Amino acid sequence: MARKKLSQEKLDYYEELIRKELEESMKYIENVSREQSVGARESSGDLSSYAYHQADQGSDTNLMEHTAKMMDSERKKIRLLNDAMRRIQDGVFGVCDMCGEIIPDARLEIIPYATQCIECKEKMEDKKRRKRR
């Protein structure tokens, strides 16, 4: 059985798209890390007292939590994007890993690291939902 594949043209296109997203995520993490280390220096020099100081200020704590969550999801995204990059190099990118069909462009444009077509994704989520009940 011949496996379906994206054309080289499309692979090149998505490689570029993924590279850009990767750069953005890495820049975000870099910026936040830099800001955090500047903030730490400005308070008293060491990180533990910085955390303590911040805990006294409610809104800042929320902001830090929010930032931590953002950092987390950006790191996750980087992992997924790196995986997608590997699939591009292997030539299997853009193919649903459940049914083997090509994932529509409309989906890949939004989620370039998607590994399943919408139908299979929904089927999986359906199964999960049923299990929970």
Task: Give min distance, CB of 84 to Zn ion, in A.
Answer: 16
Residue type, 27: K
Q: Which two tokens stand for residue 38?
A: 């500047």
Q: How far is CA 132 from the centre of its chain?
A: 26
Among 18, 81, 88, 117, the residue binding Zn ion under the rule CB under 5 A is 117
CA–CA distance, 94 with 112 (Å, rounded to integer): 8
From the list 25-33, 48-56, 73-81, 91-99, the region that binds Zn ion by CB under 5 A is 91-99
Place of tokens 């069909």: 101
x/- contact string, 43-82, with Zn ion (CB under 5 A)?
Answer: ----------------------------------------
CA–CA distance, 88 with 11 (Å, rounded to integer): 6
Contact between 118 and Zn ion by CB under 5 A: the answer reads no
Among 98, 102, 107, 123, the residue binding Zn ion under the rule CB under 5 A is 98
- Residue by residue, DSSP assigns 58-99 as HHHHHHHHHHHHHHHHHHHHHHHHHHHHHHHHHT-TTB-TTT
CA–CA distance, 6 with 64 (Å, rounded to integer): 42
From the list 15-23, 31-39, 66-74, 96-104, the region that binds Zn ion by CB under 5 A is 96-104
Q: Which two tokens stand for residue 95?
A: 């193919």
Among 63, 99, 111, 124, the residue binding Zn ion under the rule CB under 5 A is 99
The smaller minimum CB distance to Zn ion, of residues 78 and 117, is found at 117
CA–CA distance, 28 with 48 (Å, rounded to integer): 24
From the list 5-13, 39-47, 76-84, 88-96, the region that binds Zn ion by CB under 5 A is 88-96
Which residues contribute to the site for Zn ion (CB under 5 A)? 96, 98-99, 117, 120
